[in-house]
């Protein structure tokens, strides 16, 4: 190899080195910076949620939907909302038909904090929504 070739090879390596900063090229630094920003943002969000959470116990609300006729039976959709900061598990829901002894109930494995779950109950037809009264029989805090 001649001195001229050695010199040109050295320039090529030097040119590549000018695009590198401490062994990394610009794209690697951009990806590193974006990743660092994303991870930092997630940690800041989770920390603020943990600090600001007031840990209210489950506060369950029930709403009944419009009854749907299904032959000799009526199906009624039931939505249970948890307005608290703690998940409720083993939720027992009961819906009574007023002026009769007819009741229908179901269980929900859990209702997440600030979330909701849906279920259905069944009654004899005919039925109006105003005849129904819903309540929570019990639950556990998770």
Q: What is the pLDDT of residue 3?
A: 55
Listed residue (28, 136, 10, 30) closest to 78, CA to CA: 136
Q: What is the pLDDT of residue 19?
A: 62
Give just the sign of the alpha carbon dihedral 126, 129, 133, 136: positive
* Partners of 92 in the β-ladder: 107, 138
At residue 86, what are phi and psi to the nearest 5 degrees? -125, 140
pLDDT tens-digit profile, the chain (142 residues): 555 555 445 444 555 555 666 778 989 999 999 999 999 999 999 998 778 767 789 999 999 999 999 989 999 999 999 999 899 999 999 999 998 989 999 999 999 989 999 999 999 988 899 999 999 999 998 8
Q: What is the pTM of this model?
A: 0.65
Q: What is the pLDDT of residue 16?
A: 55
Residue 101 burial (CB < 10 Å; 0-12/13-18/19+)? exposed
Q: What is the pLDDT of residue 88?
A: 96
């Amino acid at each position: 190899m001649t001195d001229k070739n050695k010199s040109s090879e050295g320039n090529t390596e030097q040119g590549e080195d000018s695009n590198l900063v401490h062994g990394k090229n610009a794209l690697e630094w951009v990806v590193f910076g974006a990743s660092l920003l994303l991870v930092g943002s997630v940690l800041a969000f989770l920390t603020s949620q943990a600090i600001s959470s007031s840990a209210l116990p489950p506060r369950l609300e029930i709403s009944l939907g419009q009854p749907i006729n299904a032959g000799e039976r009526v199906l009624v959709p039931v939505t249970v909302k948890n307005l608290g900061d703690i998940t409720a598990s083993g939720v027992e829901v009961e819906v009574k038909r007023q002026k009769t002894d007819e009741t229908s109930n179901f269980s929900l494995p859990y209702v997440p904090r600030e979330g909701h779950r849906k279920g259905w109950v069944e009654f004899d037809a005919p039925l109006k929504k105003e005849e129904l009264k819903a309540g929570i029989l019990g639950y556990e805090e998770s």
